[in-house]
Structure 1
Amino acid sequence: MSFSFSRSTRTPRAVVAGAAVAASAVLLLSSCSVANSEPTDGAGSADTIRIVLTQEPPTLEACEANLTSTGVVMRSNVTEPLVERNPTTGDLDPLLATSWEQTSDTEWTFTLRDDVTFSDGTPFNAEAAAFTIDRAVNSDLACNVEGYVFGDDDLVVNAVDDTTLTVTTVTPDPILPLRLSFLEIVPTATDATAKVREPIGTGPYAIAQWDAGTKLTLERNDDYWGDAPAFATAEYQWRSEGTVRAAMITSGEADIAMGLGPDDGAGDLGLDYPNNETVALRMTAEIAPLNDIRVREAVNYAIDKSGIIDSLYQGAHIAAAQLVPEGIVGHNADLEPWEFDVDKAKALVAEAKADGVPVDEKITIVARNAQFPKVSEMSQVLQEQLTQAGLNVELKMVDTTQHLQYQLRPFVDNEGAIALLIQHGNQAGDAQFSADQYMTTTGAQSVYGTEAFDALLEAASIKTGSERQAAYEDIFGYQNDEIVQFAFISHQTGVIGKTANVDYTPNSSSGDELRIAEITPVA
């Protein structure tokens, strides 16, 4: 199959509507300028866009840009991929690559733009693209994108000439261009043996200054190959409390606020949008008492999903029955969420105990601070509900760095049974990106699997069209019947806070990559 596009300049990508945030008047943000419509140098029509995040990015390393807290700043702002997925249509659009085709069962050929430079003035070419792929996928850097998107197999990359790149896979891969949309391209001068704090990219902005713990500033890249963004500067700050972020919007101290809850106080300045995020407990199914499927089933029956959604999120979320929401290839519309039945949960725990399962062994719910609105409250409710089912449950709230140690291989060891509260977003639009990392026996974020399930997953990965859809539908059904590694809770609806000074319509990708070029001032 082949895809070919031609564009002289980059056109704006579809966006989606956001939500509102908060802040207290005592926060030291008054010195930041409010977005306005005064022209600057003629290339744009505004000065500064001010954004408040839920947390400071742990890194800006390009190969970690699929992490939400990094990608929301970096992706398509500072760095760019070869191709990008349109979050509204699901189609792949050209970016640094203008066309691509599958030239054999295992080889794809990409034609690249010849008019792009990195923000430091070095040229973008096939050598830079090959270097980026090799650095992120084939090295020992342990980039999150490797485990999340590419798995264990290396890629063979070849810069045929300045504008021609070939990528060869070990086995046929019908969605390789989609995978490459997660790789942000960096120049060959980038350190290949260590992750970098502030990478160079080809995007409409460059990193100007990062004051750790305080503020991060991007400045417009005046040599950008595409259309110039409206704002000359983007300033990021971070506040963990949703009510604070919302107050910053209502008081005019920020223009965009991320990760708001429905009752954080943004009012009419809060915009709802479908964010493709699914919240679930991922259980270590090889450690007692979670190594007994009856206990894992009991966990599912013990969770009052509707009660959590209604009480904490004003009914805005949807009870989940699987890892991906509607709209993702492979979503199984026939699956129903586990019913809330405490008596059935208690009976399963009692049955397991009668058979010698040590159900009194501690289960620790591990959750990340500020991961999403009301995460602490949800975690406390989950602890109480699992306790009501007769399980011994403790709650451990951790920061981002600690959470990654539970989330990614190699996992934290010698802490007993863990029920990790995860928030998984499938921005790629295909179930394989969720299944490979969370369900295979060697998946980067999987703590349980079987050889039989691995075989089903491998067979599904090479299918296309309706056969691919049906295969992943079966996989999600099999997970619920035979594996039960997860207790699914909800498919979330995001909220972004936006002042009347700026125009922006959020989409399903906005929580992971907030594209500043798609935000414009209101005259």
Structure 2
Amino acid sequence: MATLPRLAAGSLALLLAATPLHAAELRIGLAAAPTSLDPHYHNNGVNNSQARHVFDSLTHQDANQQITPGLAESWRLVDDDTWEFKLRQGVTFHDGSPFTAEDVAFSLERAPRVPGSPSSFGTYTKQIKSWTIIDPHTIQLHTNGPAPLLAIDLSSVAIVSRKHGESATTADYQAVRAAIGTGPYRLVEHRPSDRMVYERNPSYWGGAEPWERVTFRIVTLGPARVAALLAGDVDMINEVPSTDMARLRGQDSVRLWSGSTNRMTFLSLDVQHDVPIPGNASDNEGNPLPRNPMQDLRVRQALSLAIDRGVIVDRVNEGQAVRANQLVPEGFFGYNPAIQPETPDPERARRLLAEAGYPNGFRIVLHTSNDRIVNAARTVQAVAQMWGRIGVRTAIETMPHTVYSGRTARFELSHMLHSWGAGTGEAAGSFVGIVHTRGGAYGGSNRGRYSNPQVDAAIRQALVTVDEARRRAILQDIMVTVMDSRAILPLVFWVSTWATRPGLVYTPQTNQATLATATRLAP
């Protein structure tokens, strides 16, 4: 198995330079369909990966989530509250119209305000209060106080065409007609839940891509994706099932490309409601509980102590995961080395339940998506067994992600298995997305409704702290508080594996993106 967790930028440049300038169609089997091709509708990994083929952002992230120039050639801090971005000249949209600062302003206005968004991109634009267009290729962004992470945040905001976007709805992007970007590919066909077809943009400012045509086919079942690759129906697949890893390693017709990622599988617990959401918890006879047990820290501690994360790594994920003891992996900015992994202790867990008034436990329902999170069904089954051993009888309900995301957004569920990736490469993004009290541009994916005013204030302080050492200390302190609360229970970080035919090379992305732009013919 070829493992490329941290490919140096220089090595990547040499590799790409060695590939042929032109190649035929690239066919990719994708594990999950995007919920939308509107690049501002739903902030999730699958959607964002697809958007990167059609749209650019002001700054880009490389394979290791380091920031590089994108549509902005350079940026500088004018004063504490003003960033200036110099835009590339000569860039055009797919229809030939010029890219200017007007398109940036329109995109920043639109991104946080798309109707019905289940997870808003406002999390990345929240500090921008206004902008000034200096000239067609210079824009100044005015922030609510210092915004040291702005260049990082803007790597997640797609720049769309004002000309095509002003009257466009999300449905227009889904139907291809509004999907006019400056990116390396043009979207030419979209069959929801079936396929996306792209054609090369020969005028791309970064240089034309080698693939003339790229087809992403949605193949949600892991065995079916593997079968499609082995049969030659696709050239590459993502999310190789851990159960097939040993078999595929012995195949001369397959190459595997693995890399550690920032994607975390975690449990989110409802700590907001005084009484459990109907249908989510009951006593052992099936009667509604008079109070929500998840509001008691001892109960949450017991649930965490009952989980053997080593088993989830080794048995559930066949070793294709890394144990998680906080919200970002080691090496990310804000990771706190003082937080030690929790040792499973079912006996102590039972004592804590008894102290909390549940000596005989209770019943709950654990929900998850069945087509988005790697090994989700096996993970919730393992967790249910572990919780059952301490008296918390756990029923499992799974559903398609399109249904699941809607129900979690409407706060219909109490105990959930989710996944999250630190899209900005540091802990602040995770805190803003899943820890901060939900409201406005904050807490957009905080499904368990965790809320701590002191933590909220510390997150906002970190976002305006320019001094890196001070910001790191703030983030590490927040991590301790959040982990001590046990409202969010990290389980594992994913190790993602892509499989290709022998003539291809794939560069793993720490954000798990599956990209035609990271796929090349072998030198």
Taking structure 1 as the reference length, the TM-score comes to 0.85
For these two proteins, the number of residue pairs brought into alignment is 474
Structure 1, unmatched stretches of 5+, are 1-10, 18-36
CA deviation string 1:287-328 (max 9, x = no partner): 311111111111101111111211122223221111110121
Q: 1:47 aligns with which of 24, 45, 48?
A: 24
Give the Å deviation of 1:13: 9.6
Which residue identity does 2:194 align to in structure 1?
T
Q: Which residue of 1 aligns with 2:248?
A: 266
Structure 2, unmatched stretches of 5+, are 1-8, 274-291
1:86 aligns with 2:86: no
Distance in 1, matches of 2:70 and 2:145, equals 26
Report the secondary structure of 2:24's partner residue. Answer: strand
In structure 2, the CA distance between the partners of 1:101 and 1:444, relative to structure 1 (3 Å rule), is same
Report the identity percentage: 25
1:452 aligns with 2:454: yes
Give the Å deviation of 1:403: 2.1
In structure 2, the CA distance between the partners of 1:480 and 1:495, relative to structure 1 (3 Å rule), is same
Which residue identity does 1:488 align to in structure 2?
P
In structure 2, the CA distance between the partners of 1:13 and 1:230, relative to structure 1 (3 Å rule), is farther
Give the Å deviation of 1:427: 2.9
Which residue identity does 1:105 align to in structure 2?
D
Deviates more, 1:456-465 or 1:418-427: 456-465
Q: Which residue of 2 aligns with 1:176?
A: 150
Give the Å deviation of 1:125: 0.5
More helix by share: 2
Distance in 2, matches of 1:437 and 1:505, equals 27
Q: Which residue of 1 aligns with 2:199?
A: 219
Q: How does 1:436-515 map to 2 (within 5 A)?
A: 436-442=432-438, 443-446=443-446, 447-463=449-465, 464-481=467-484, 483-509=485-511, 511-512=512-513, 514-515=514-515
Q: How does 1:22-41 map to 2 (within 5 A)?
A: none
In structure 2, the CA distance between the partners of 1:262 and 1:204, relative to structure 1 (3 Å rule), is same
Q: How does 1:53-64 map to 2 (within 5 A)?
A: 53-64=30-41
Which residue identity does 2:55 align to in structure 1?
T
Q: 1:347 aligns with which of 337, 347, 351?
A: 351
Q: How does 1:87-486 map to 2 (within 5 A)?
A: 87-88=63-64, 90-137=65-112, 142=117, 144-151=119-126, 155-188=129-162, 189-191=164-166, 194-195=169-170, 196-197=173-174, 198=176, 199-264=179-244, 265-267=247-249, 269-287=255-273, 288-353=292-357, 360=362, 362-408=363-409, 411-413=410-412, 415=413, 418-442=414-438, 443-446=443-446, 447-463=449-465, 464-481=467-484, 483-486=485-488
Distance in 2, matches of 1:354 and 1:504, equals 51
Deviates more, 1:364-373 or 1:201-210: 364-373
Report the secondary structure of 2:40's partner residue. Answer: helix
Give the Å deviation of 1:154: 5.4
Give the Å deviation of 1:229: 0.7
Q: Which residue of 2 aligns with 1:70?
A: 47
Give the Å deviation of 1:175: 0.8
Does structure 2 conserve the Cα–Cα contact (< 8 Å) formed by 1:87 and 1:508?
yes
Deviates more, 1:396-405 or 1:297-306: 396-405
Report the secondary structure of 1:222's partner residue. Answer: coil
In structure 2, the CA distance between the partners of 1:309 and 1:143, relative to structure 1 (3 Å rule), is closer
CA RMSD of aligned residues (A): 2.4
Distance in 2, matches of 1:330 and 1:193, equals 39
Distance in 2, matches of 1:235 and 1:137, equals 30
Distance in 2, matches of 1:378 and 1:454, equals 30
Taking structure 2 as the reference length, the TM-score comes to 0.85
Distance in 1, matches of 2:167 and 2:83, equals 24
Distance in 2, matches of 1:261 and 1:119, equals 37
Does structure 2 conserve the Cα–Cα contact (< 8 Å) formed by 1:295 and 1:349?
yes
Does structure 1 conserve the Cα–Cα contact (< 8 Å) formed by 2:120 and 2:444?
no
